[in-house]
Amino acid sequence: MTKITVNNIARASLSADEAASLLHLAAAAAINGKEAIDTAKGKQASALAVATAAFSTDEIHDRAWSFDINGKGDEVHTHVECIGYDEFGNTDLAWCRNGQGAVSKVAQSAYKAGFQSTFFGLDKPNPAVWMMASRAVVIANAIRAEFMTARIVDGKLVLEGGKGERAEAMREAKSIAALTKLAKGEAGSNRDGGHGAGKSEAGEAKVATPAEVLALATRLVEGVAKGEEALSPAALSFARRIAALVASNPEAFAED
């Protein structure tokens, strides 16, 4: 394979795994592109394609990493363990909130810095790279949910595999912008069993209780164990995390 550099990334052809090893170049290309990744031109478009393919891989999705939220000075206030980009954009997590229950800007900044350091090798976070990562994560989640694979051909993202209307539309998308809209759309795969939010008799959305959520999770996991249920890679990742937490904290989950 020809050595890939920032200068020739717009012409590169890569597998998703190869893209995962070149995220530092994608970051450099995004930064050199005048920090306007939304224009999706030249190196920027190729940088986003590389990042998207990379984030669709198991290696990136399942990578364990951590970061610290500091208090006053350099004192570590909270140490946070993460898996891939599971926590990306989730402000309901305990570490995201300050003492008043509001979203903590300090925690968000710490996450952004740790995320870009872990996946892109940056000493300091960069807004262009964060913007690129934000789009890559959305598309990569959709790729994995539809059981598709990604690769780069001449600097462009090419998707293969998957079944159903959304997968077909994603494969045929003419641009990253169009692909992003499809990835964000509500219509898509029902491979996680088609379980959506419950509704009341009046048709209004019903908020599930913790017991209902865990009961559904238990049924899904039992189905996987019996070979009767097929979950997306993202759903399986959450199931594995729950199993690991229960196994490593027996006292917290012990019966009364």
- Quote the number of domains for the chain: 2
Among positive and negative, which fits the CA dihedral 191, 235, 88, 209? positive
More confident residue, 243 or 9: 243
Residue 45 lies in a domain: yes
Based on the domain organization, do 147 and 224 belong to the same domain? no
Measured in whole angstroms, the distance separating CA 22 from the mean position of its chain's CA atoms is 17
Among 104, 177, 96, which residue's Cα sits nearest to residue 138?
Answer: 177
Among 223, 150, 226, which residue's Cα sits nearest to residue 192?
Answer: 223
Query: What pLDDT is attached to residue 172?
Result: 92
* Residue 213 confidence (pLDDT) above 50: yes
Cα separation, 237 vs 148, in Å, equals 17
Based on the domain organization, do 243 and 206 belong to the same domain? yes
Question: Strand order of the sheet with strand 14-15?
Answer: 14-15, 148-153, 156-161
Q: Is 84 helix (H, G, I), strand (E, B) or coil?
A: coil
Based on the domain organization, do 31 and 150 belong to the same domain? yes
Q: Output DSSP code: residue 246.
A: H
Cα separation, 9 vs 5, in Å, equals 6
Which of the listed residues 148, 166, 192 is the one where a domain comes to its end?
Answer: 192
The backbone torsions φ and ψ at residue 153, rounded to the nearest 5 degrees and listed phi first, read -125, 115
Give the tens place of pLDDT for each residue, 51-93. 999 999 999 999 999 999 987 766 777 899 999 999 998 888 8
Task: Print the domain residue range for 221.
Answer: 198-248
Based on the domain organization, do 87 and 180 belong to the same domain? yes
- Judge contact between 133 and 51, C-beta under 8 A: yes
Residue 116 lies in a domain: yes
Per-residue confidence band for 239, with pLDDT thresholds at 50, 70 and 90: confident
* Residue 232 confidence (pLDDT) above 50: yes
The residue whose two tokens read 């809209």 is 181
Residue 207 lies in a domain: yes
Cα separation, 38 vs 26, in Å, equals 15
- Judge contact between 146 and 166, C-beta under 8 A: yes
The pLDDT > 70 percentage for the chain reads 78
Q: Which residue type sits at 56?
A: S
* Residue 126 confidence (pLDDT) above 70: yes
